[in-house]
Amino acid sequence: MHPSLLELKRRIIKVESGLDRVVDKMTKFDAWLKVISGDLGTEKGQTLEDLFAIALP
């Protein structure tokens, strides 16, 4: 394989690896946000939204 093609392949693999880590972190953040927010689509989430709305001036 040509040296420049080999370097390109290495860079692509590095980018793909970094992208996999970002996607993993985003997935974990999304799960954390759902836990913290009470998954706003649920009854618990609706109650949280109602309480928040009352607190607004």
Q: State pLDDT tens for residues 3-21.
A: 799 999 999 999 999 999 9
pLDDT at 22 over 80: yes
Domain residue ranges of the chain, discontinuous segments joined by +: 17-55
Reduced to 3 states (helix: H, G, I; strand: E, B; else coil), residue 11 is helix
pLDDT at 2 over 80: no
CA 22 to chain CA centroid, Å, is: 8
The overall average pLDDT reported for the chain is 84
pLDDT band of residue 25 (cuts 50, 70, 90) is: very high
- Residue for token digits 């913290």? 36
Beta strands in 1-57 (DSSP E): none
Distance CA 16, CA 8 (A): 12
Distance CA 29, CA 8 (A): 31
Whole-structure pTM value:
0.52
